[in-house]
Chain A
Amino acid sequence: MSSHPAHRPRGGMRIAIGAGLLLASGLLFVRAAGPWPGDAIVWPAAVAALGALLIWRASGALPVRRRGWAAHRPPEASPVASSRESSARVRALGRPEVSRGGLGVTLVLASGFAFLWANGALRPAGETVLAGLAVLVALALIFAPSWRRLARSLAAERTERIRSQERADVGAHLHDSVLQTLALIQRSAEDPKQVAALARRQERELRGWLAGGDSREGAEQLAGALETAAVEVEATAGGTVEVVAVGDCSLDEPAGAVLGAAREAMLNAAKFAGQAPVSVYAELSDERIKVFVRDRGAGFDPAVVPPARRGVRESIVGRMHRAGGGATVRALPGGGTEVEIAIERRSRP
């Protein structure tokens, strides 16, 4: 895989070298053709600019486009592979930045020296500088291994800290959720319905967490809010509600009306559907929202609505009309009822 994260810095380096060569050719052209301030100024300046660019990139002052790299990754990346890659990323934390930054620093320093030397500024202090340089080089040679070791152990420590932090987060979450629920299940072992409901709610919660969605985050989007509504309906009315959402949209006013109506429809379906699961299918986009709620209950003739259901219908159909959308309730030939909720939205600027 050419797009493995570890290969990224090499690609960046190639681009830098290419850009440098381009710049050099441009400068050579100007040198041959146009006004030229002098070798002693331009070349050090160019090298210094390149070095500064490298330092900036390494320190994150310039935006680094990463999405482009990820886009070439095949979709089959299993969680195993992705966790391997993320640990590779953790391992590489720091390293390309340090080497790139180091190269940049070297370039800038070298250009500074070259400038001073070329303009004769170093001549008076020549011997002192030479001695100083010799000492610096000697020191660098002596201490390089231990610096390296220090840097490496710091990176290792950082990685370890990140890992243990992650472990602690996972542990805390499992403790608050799964272990609590398991305790509740043990206590209510005599009530199978209660056990099933507990297990189901925990399953959803854990799934949401594994999918990376924070429950707070999910509440701002309609798909997440529908999931949450399904969980609440399961908790109050029993039964199972399966939500399948395609696309997503923000939870603004029309979406809020849809959510309210869909929740009523789910509640209604769960109450009258008996044991069969309730299916919720939502097509969400910024232009249009469509939600279907269907159950496999006894069904009813929409023309002869039982009084118990009239209020519910009002809160679905009426609500959608007021919001500028619509809802239809129909009995299905094979048994069961389907509520279709739809609203058009103006696409926002």
Chain B
Amino acid sequence: MSDASGSVVRVAIVDDHDLFRAGVRASLGPRVEVVAESGEVRDAVRAIEELEPDVVLLDVHMPGGGGAEVIRRLGESRPAVHFLALSVSDAAEDVIALIRAGARGYVTKTISGPELADAVCRVRDGDAVFSPRLAGFVLDAFAGEIPAAQVDPELDLLTPREREVLQHIARGYMYKEIAAQLGISAKTVEAHVSAVLRKLQLSSRHELTRWAVHRRLIEE
């Protein structure tokens, strides 16, 4: 495991668009080395098992199952590998599914090269990367749309502070700026975001389903 923050990050890109992979590779810059590229689930799983990259950039939709399937097939076998969803799809259910499968964050494909490299480094260091859009989805998922009496008692809800941090992310603030605004350290902001990610991955399936039905993401 190489988590010394100065070293080059080894990255695998899993996306079925050749042009897009080429574009990402070109824009990532010197801090990141692309060790594998794959456009297909089985191929990607094999490459990741063999090369153990630090970070895998995952597309949401691919022939043969998409990013969530890649994470599922790898299971717990490669704990050092971190996943970051990078997708053109900003449909809430796709993104939430990938996060719940184990991705450490989600950025849209319109992200700039330096920002993406930055996100890759943060994911390698174990941080969560929330784009404004993901923050919006999560706030929506945990929003007080469900009356308190109906809420599952074992359900993990967001603390007011976590909510505040997410709102700032959704408003387009960087972690540093959020820290300054809220009078806390950037590390604390990161800790809040990681906590939200964990809650998202562990929270009762019931709640998120209800949210999805509410948003009419699930038909009927």
Contacts and interface: CB of A to CB of B under 8 A. Distances in A.
A279 B209 contact: no
A80 interface: yes
Contacts of A78: 65-66, 68, 94, 97
Contacts of A245: 136
A244 B136 CA distance: 6
B94 A246 contact: no
A198 B160 CA distance: 40
A72 B140 contact: no
A103 B178 CA distance: 65
Given A73-B218, A76-B97, A246 B140 contact: yes
A95 B220 CA distance: 19
B220 A69 contact: yes
Nearest to A240: B110
B105 interface: no
B136 A281 contact: yes
Given A78-B68, A247-B145, 14 more contacts: A66-B220, A71-B210, A73-B209, A75-B218, A86-B219, A242-B132, A242-B133, A247-B140, A281-B167, A283-B139, A294-B172, A294-B173, A296-B172, A334-B177
Q: Output the residue of B94, B213, B219 with the most chain A CB within 10 A.
A: B219
A79 B205 contact: no
26 contacts: A70-B213, A70-B219, A71-B213, A73-B218, A75-B209, A78-B66, A78-B94, A79-B61, A79-B94, A82-B219, A240-B110, A242-B133, A244-B133, A244-B135, A244-B136, A245-B136, A247-B143, A277-B172, A279-B171, A281-B170, A281-B171, A281-B172, A283-B139, A294-B173, A333-B180, A334-B180
Contacts of A74: 205, 209
B90 interface: yes
B199 interface: no
Nearest to A207: B90
A77 interface: yes
Contacts of B220: 66-67, 69-70
6 interchain residue pairs of minimum CB distance: A279-B172, A244-B136, A281-B171, A281-B170, A76-B97, A292-B171
A77 B93 contact: yes
A234 interface: no
Q: Output the residue of A69, A211, A240 with the most chain B CB within 10 A.
A: A211
A66 B217 CA distance: 15
Given A76-B68, A334-B177, A246 B136 contact: yes
Chain B, interface size category, equals 35 or more
B19 to A, nearest CB: 14
B36 interface: no
A257 B143 CA distance: 24
Contact of A281 (B97, B132, B208, B213): B132
A227 B136 CA distance: 14
Interface in B72-123: 90-91, 93-94, 96-97, 100-101, 110
B212 interface: yes
Interface string B189-220: 00000000000000001001111110001111
Contacts of B210: 71
A244 to B, nearest CB: 4
A76 B100 contact: yes
Interface in A232-248: 240, 242, 244-247
Interface in A40-99: 66-67, 69-80, 82, 86
B145 to A, nearest CB: 7
A247 B133 CA distance: 13
B163 to A, nearest CB: 11
Contacts of B100: 75-76
A206 B173 CA distance: 28
A47 B128 CA distance: 62
Contacts of A211: 91
B4 to A, nearest CB: 28
A210 interface: yes
Interface string B127-148: 0000011011001100101000
B168 to A, nearest CB: 9
Contacts of A292: 171
Contacts of B133: 242, 244
Contacts of B143: 246-247
A16 interface: no
A75 B180 contact: no
Given A73-B218, A75-B205, A244 B91 contact: no
Interface string A285-299: 000000010101000
Given A66-B220, A70-B219, A294-B172, A75 B96 contact: yes
Interface string B9-23: 000000000000000
A312 interface: no
A332 interface: yes
A242 B172 contact: yes
Nearest to A244: B136
Nearest to A69: B220
B212 A75 contact: yes
